[in-house]
Chain A
Amino acid sequence: MRKHLALLAVFLLLPLALAWADQTFYISLASRILIYALAATSLNLVLGYGGMISFGHAAFVGTGAYVASILFVEGVTSAWIAWPAALAAAALAALLIGAVSLRTRGAYFIMITLAFAQMMFYLLNSMKMYGGDEGLTLPRRPDLGVDLGNEVAFYYVVLFFLALTLYLLYRLTNSRFGRVIVAIRENEQRAQALGFPVYRYRLACFVIAGAAGGLAGALLAAHGKYVSPNVLHWTQSGTLMIMVILGGVGRLWGGVLGAVALLGLEHLIADYPVGWLEALAPNYQQHADLAVGLVLLAVVLFAPHGIAGLFPGAKRARA
């Protein structure tokens, strides 16, 4: 528990440190990373704890982002209405998609979740009244009672939701429900034989994760004041998966570590020129993906349990 609080304290003090170092620009970037951390954490519930390899999680992030944004342009500017609506809509989408997808197993499940995300991607592309493929630009962030236009305030709102999600994930995975979910991951037939309604447990897990993904989507739209179908592109689902695998599958902090590592690495390479590297390969910063790819490969080959697996004591959830 002490370790969790220490990590939380780091995030709490981050804006103060950035303000002290006169680097307030990075507060907005930090918010963005935390939003992705929230989305990746929600995927980790399905992927890591539930063992369901969903390749369409961006569908729920996108649902949340679009519902919140459409409500805003239609005149509902209060986040108190828009964000719960985004969460509920994403939960509904997850219920419908999960109900069909969870009938399949293995590689077929991977592909059918991807198929549903692709369907939504193309449908949103054709919704001309809400921007079509160009997306939807919002005039400002929604109203919450505090001024969300202030980057520090926005950061703490995002941090609140991330901390809440992590706390709920912690409680959930240590509850009876969480044990059953992990038991199903480890051995579906045995869980079935013990009398657990496997399909319903899985569906519930899928819906909870979808709802949290929708919340991340609403925050993402508010952060950028913009949403486009690219939020649902399959590479986004892929990126979220990469974050979870990179951080640690089925580990509480896996999604957060993965998001921080992946997005942090991208910005580190793009924003900070390294002298000797530049001498060796000029313009190397325009090819940041090359380095990101190499790091990901190194993680697969040398750290098979992700970043969280490198720390002693960070155990994977067990049934």
Chain B
Amino acid sequence: MSWVLIAEQALNGLQFGLMLFLLAAGLTLVFGIMDMINLAHGSLYMLGAFIAASLVQATGSFVLGVLLAVPATALAGMVLETLLLRHLYQRDHLSQVLATFALILILNEAVRLIWGSDAPLPMPASLSGPVELLPGLFYPAYRLLIILVGLAVAIFLYLLISRTKVGMLVRAGASNREMALAMGVNIRLLFTLVFGVGAALCAVAGALLAPLLAVQVGMGENILILAFVVIVIGGIGSVRGALVGALVVGAVDTIGRAFLPIAFGAFLPPQVASAAGPAIASVAVYLLMAVVLFFRPQGLFPARG
């Protein structure tokens, strides 16, 4: 096991963690501020990827297509919020689960009707090669781009929430909705905007991950659960918690997948090790969450109280 392999896997973990953060940030704000369980968040990720695939093909430019897909998905999210989800904020969690589960079914079928079951979104040719980061350490240029974009978005989000007026209103809404309303904050508009930002972040993650994974119906469902794990580890409503949780989950998942088979191979027959490794790595993420909740039932960075 060389240092190159370790460095590569650490970067892969960072890349996956940052993409998880983009999904988790929107989810944690919607969950924390509006007290709304949105199972359809993964569907916005899927929608973003499909819109990006179409726009990249239509414009012939990867960058332009992705940049246009982000506002388009944000708009779709805001329309969804205004027409439907707004009516669910006052309902109990069970109604929200039922409604947003229904939304998953509807959006899956709508995407299937418009685009079919999958859509191609190839990697831009100029980024398909590797970059030499350090002597001897080659890393795919495209993954490097994802890391840079992820970091940039994370910093932007941090500044937006901690330094701007809108961010202050978001934090006020999170800590006490009624009080913020009484002070004259237009909560409804604010919620719609937050939802739009969440959808935009989904589109960024969906479009960037598309060339590595695949653009297909149902792609949002498994990653949605990981995003929920992230926000529960981090503490619901806390963007900082979502960042820490996402990086930890990304690292545990990637490093577990890469090194557990090797570690198991030391004392198990290779066939068993290659099968058990990935499974234990998948379990590790959930085990981590159970342990965190056991010791800190409110997550690592509770947003309230």
Contacts and interface: CB of A to CB of B under 8 A. Distances in A.
B101 interface: yes
A297 B97 CA distance: 11
Interface hub of B37, B84, B105, B287 (most chain A Cβ within 10 A): B105
Given A53-B94, A293-B102, A103 B294 contact: yes
A295 to B, nearest CB: 8
Given A53-B93, A116-B290, A245-B95, A107 B101 contact: no
B294 A304 contact: no
A126 B297 CA distance: 30
B134 interface: no
B289 A249 contact: no
Nearest to B228: A111
Contacts of B232: 107-108, 111-112
A114 interface: yes
Nearest to A292: B105
Given A123-B283, A290-B109, A293-B106, A108 B101 contact: no
A293 B105 contact: yes
Interface stretch (A19-27, A135-143, A200-208, A233-241): A233-241
Contacts of A53: 93-94, 97
Contacts of B95: 245, 300, 304
A296 B98 CA distance: 7
Given A100-B290, A126-B276, A108 B98 contact: no
Given A114-B228, A123-B279, A290-B109, A108 B102 contact: no
Contacts of A115: 229, 286, 289-290
A119 B102 contact: no
Interface string B90-111: 0101110111011111101110
B102 A297 contact: yes
A53 B93 CA distance: 9
B68 interface: no
Interface in B77-123: 84, 87-88, 91, 93-95, 97-99, 101-106, 108-110, 112-113
Contacts of B225: 114, 118, 234
Contacts of A40: none
Given A115-B289, A116-B290, A126 B278 contact: yes
A105 interface: yes
Given A100-B290, A293-B103, A241 B97 contact: yes
Nearest to A286: B112
A-B interface, 5 closest residue pairs, ranked by CB to CB distance from nearest: A126-B279, A293-B105, A296-B102, A293-B106, A290-B109
